[in-house]
Amino acid sequence: MRDYSVQGVSIPDDAVYKEVVVIGNGPSGIALSYLLAGNWPYYNGAVHPDEMLTTRLSGAPSGRSIIQQDLRFLSQAMDGNVLTISLSSWMELPGVEFRGGSGPAHSRDGRASVSSVAQYYHDYVHSQTLARFFRNGCVVTSVRPLDISHSQSGDIIDPETGVQYCQPQAMWRVEGFDLENGGPFCYICRRVVLATGAADLPNRLGVPGELANPTWVLHDLRSLEAALDRLVEEEEGDREGVPTEPRCDPVLIVGAGLSAADAVIAARFRSLPILHVFRKKAGALGKQLPENMYPEYHKVHQMMGDGGASYPCYTALAEHRVLEISSDHKVCVVGSDNAVSVHQVSVVAVLIGSRPDLNFLPPGLSLGLRATESVDCRSNPVDVDPYTHRAVRAPPGMYALGPLAGDNFVRFLQGGAVAIASHIHKELHHTAL
């Protein structure tokens, strides 16, 4: 890489050139890597529920991949309004059917455990021989555009493969370090894809004491479940005989979404008392979910609406918000009538959503649909061209995929992966001509 001459930017001698760098190893990054590795989709003649789409696909030249077709033409009249939580079959990536672990296959129309989904994606990378494209256990610290003015040789050689590339006019520099040994890395690439997902940074209440008590004021389910297990152990150690009522102070759960519902379920499973605070009334939790398939969420919704009168050891404080968290495990809340109350609690779980961590991007790079606000996967996703998934407000060569682009379900993000792979292929083909 010593042949680089970059205005105002130094490039390490050991920097590695890649045509594309994908940041993120979740289903978005995996699906795109699968396509970029040469696994192109072809229409197999099946009838799609959208008759117009079937007609368009049938009219394409024989043997021509969808990657090579006009995606704008194919995607007219299509309906993307689906409100549900993914079933097992909806978690699938191309070419491999979802199965729930090593035992008998789970129904593809049923729900899967988080561990089964994680194992499926791990196995997918290896079964599809994609592992060679992944660099796991790394943290990306910087993604910066480069202005490559010229190189002495006129081209770029990948030191790993010896492949010679024509020099691009716009490139990106991706830097980070290895978590295992702390060693730095640097990639120079023509295109960079943001596929980091939505859940890196949990949202905060922003009230006094929230961040001053990290051992018992928690913001994720994994930490909460560990804390709940410790409470159970302490309860059992302090009791003689069979307990009839929990002795510990209640677990305070803040939030009205599915994560908060999962926390309620986890605490009830351990027979711990619950104080549930949320800003609105019972709301729409579970209303879009079939009750026969998601009974636990409907149960929590009933509990929230009931206020806890019919459910022992559960109290709901609807239309309340937290004012302050004290170091002595006291939490001050206020209701819609401005009445203030103080509650002694054992653990606080603040589960009010999350947002992506894009701190590695250049300062001042406003990618969201609302440029003046930070990117939020639900309310302000990255503004992308729907047919290429290029980030509209970024320098050339940046793409966004998955939740960052507003596609919060696996079955939708595959379309974004096809859009990116198709655009890259067409650009390379045009350059070659």
What is the amino acid identity at position 223? S
Range name among 88-92, 249-253, 295-299, 388-392 with the lowest pLDDT average: 88-92
SS3 102: coil
Q: How far is the C-alpha of 145 from the C-alpha of 5, rounded, in Å?
A: 14
CA angle 374, 375, 380 (to 5 degrees): 105
Q: How far is the C-alpha of 252 from the C-alpha of 256, rounded, in Å?
A: 13
DSSP character string of 370-396: STTS--BTTTB-B-B-TTT-BBTTS-T
**Confidence (pLDDT) at 118:** 81
What is the bridge-based pairing of β-strands 274-278 and 314-318? parallel
159 Cβ contact partners less than 8 Å away, ≥ 6 residues apart: 1, 16, 17
Q: How far is the C-alpha of 354 from the C-alpha of 362, rounded, in Å?
A: 21
Neighbours of 111 (CB within 10 A): 15
Convert the pLDDT of each residue in 62-99 to its tens digit.
778 888 887 777 776 733 332 234 566 767 888 888 77
Convert the pLDDT of each residue in 113-129 to its tens digit.
777 778 888 888 999 99
185 near 199, Cβ under 8 Å?
no
Backbone angles phi, psi at 3, to 5 degrees: -75, -10
Give the pLDDT band of residue 156 (cuts 50, 70, 90).
low
Neighbours of 84 (CB within 10 A): 12
- Whose structure tokens read 């509209």? 392
404 near 198, Cβ under 8 Å?
yes
Q: How far is the C-alpha of 172 from the C-alpha of 17, rounded, in Å?
A: 10
Structure tokens at 240: 């003689």
**Confidence (pLDDT) at 150:** 45
Q: Which DSSP letter does residue 169 get?
A: S
